Amino acid sequence: MGTDEHSEFAERVADLNKYGRAFNQCESVDEVVSLTLEAVTILFELGDVTVVKVRDGDLQVAGSTNPRLSAGDSPGAVAREAAETGQTVVDEMTSEADASDAGTTAVLAVPGAVVDEVTLVVVARSTAVESFGEEYVRPMEILAAHGATAVGNIRSRERLERARQDLATRKEMVEMYDRLLRHDIGNDLQVIAGFAEAVGNQVEDDQTAEYVDKIVRSARNSADLIERVGDLVSTLEQQREPEARELRPLLADTVADIEAQYESLTVEFDPAEFDYRVYAGDLLDSVFTNVLSNAAVHNDGAVTVDLYAAERDTGSVVVGMADDGDGIDPGVREDLFEMGAKGPDSEGTGFGLGFVRALTESYGGSVDVRDSDAGGADFRVTLDRA
C-alpha cells in the first residue's frame, strides 16, 4: 500500500468511526441497514450495494441500492459463503452466477459478526474495479463490524422488551389466581378443617375419627400450600425491572455461602470465566442458590458441581452447573420446573426449581437441564447480556 493509499485508508477509517457512533444510535435493524448502504455508497463510491441480514441460519436481503433486488429476496452464493464461513469473500467474477447485471467485474462480500455469530453481510459489486484490494476490504470489515454490533444490541433490547411484556401479562394472571386461591379456596379450606375438627370431637368410632383426622390434615396442608405459593407470588411481584448486574461478584458470594452451608458440596469455580454483565433483578442469587443447594440435598454423599460459562449467542450467556451426582429421576424430568413437581422420595415442597424458572423468565432468560458428562445433572441458566 503506497503513501496515497495509506492516507486514503486513514481517512476512510476516521469516517467509519464517525459512522460507528451513528450506528450506536440506531433503534431498529432497518436503520442499521440504511446507514450501512449510505456509508458504503458515500465512502467507497460504489453504486451497487446490498445488505443481507442473518438470523438463525436464515439469510434475506434487507436492503439494496440495486433496483433488481428487494427486501426479502434470497441473496447470492457469495453472500452465503461469507455468512457460512465468517470470512470475507472477494470474487473477480470468474463466473457470473452472483452478478446482478452483465457488467459486473468484481464482487466483495464482508460478514459482520459479534463473537462468532454473523448477523449481517455487506455485498458490494463494481463494474469499474477489476478486483477489490485491501483498500476496500479492511475498511469494509470495520463498517460491517459496526453494523453487526448495532444489530446485536437491537436484538438484545427486543428480547428484553418481549420478556417484559410477557412478564406483565403473567403477573396479571398470577395476581388473579393468587386472590382466588388465598381468598376463596383458602377460606373454604379453613371452614372444612374447622367443621371436621368439630365432628371429630363428637365421634366415638375409631375408624371414623381416623377419617376425620385425615380430612383435617389434608385441609390444613392444602391451606399451608396456598400460603407458600402466595408468598412466592408476592416475592416475584416485589421485584424491580431487570437491570445490568455484574455476574462475577454475585456468583463468588453465592458459591462461598453455599459451600459454607453444605459440607458435602464442592463447587469448582473460576471467577475469571464470569466477567459478564447481565440483565437481572435483586433475586438472581436465589436462582443459583436453589440449583446448587439441590445438588447437595438430592444426592447421596459428597457431590461436586462444575460451575461454567458459555456464550449461547451474541446477546446472551449461559451459566452452567454440572454435578457428578445421581442425575434426574426420569419420572419428574419432564415437569421438573413446574411448581410443586418433585420426586417420589423427595421431602421438599417441589417449589425450588419452579421458583428458579419463574425468576429466570422474569429477567428475560431461560433455564433447562440435561445430563452432565459426569453422569449427574447439568442445569443451564441463560441470561441476556448487558
User: Which residue is listed with cell 463494481?
Assistant: 126
* pLDDT for position 311: 83
- Which class for 7: exposed (0-12), middle (13-18), buried (19 or more C-beta within 10 A)? exposed
Render pLDDT for 3-22 as a digit per residue (tens, 0 to 9).
555 556 566 667 787 888 88
* pLDDT for position 5: 53
Render pLDDT for 256-315 as a digit per residue (tens, 0 to 9).
989 988 888 999 999 999 999 999 988 888 899 989 988 888 877 899 999 999 987 678
* pLDDT for position 21: 85
CATH class of 3-155: alpha beta
Beta-carbon contacts of residue 220 (< 8 Å; ≥ 6 apart): 189, 193
What is the fold, at CATH topology level, of the domain defined by 242-386? Heat Shock Protein 90 (3.30.565)
Q: In whole numbers, what is the pLDDT of the chain averaged over residues? A: 83
Domain extents for the chain? 3-155, 242-386
Render pLDDT for 134-173 as a digit per residue (tens, 0 to 9).
888 989 999 999 999 999 889 888 887 887 777 677 667 6
pTM of the entire predicted model? 0.48
Percent of the chain exceeding pLDDT 90 equals 38
Residue 227 CA to residue 222 CA, distance in Å, equals 9
The 10 Å CB-count burial string (b at 16+, else e) for 227-260 is eebbebbeebeebeebeebebeebbeebbeebbe
Break the chain down into helix, strand, coil percent, rounded to 5: 50, 20, 30
Mean pLDDT of 95-120: 76
Q: Do residues 279 and 163 touch, judged by C-beta distance below 8 A?
A: no
Torsion on CA atoms 68, 70, 76, 81, rounded to nearest 10: 140
In CATH terms, are 3-155 and 242-386 the same topology?
A: no
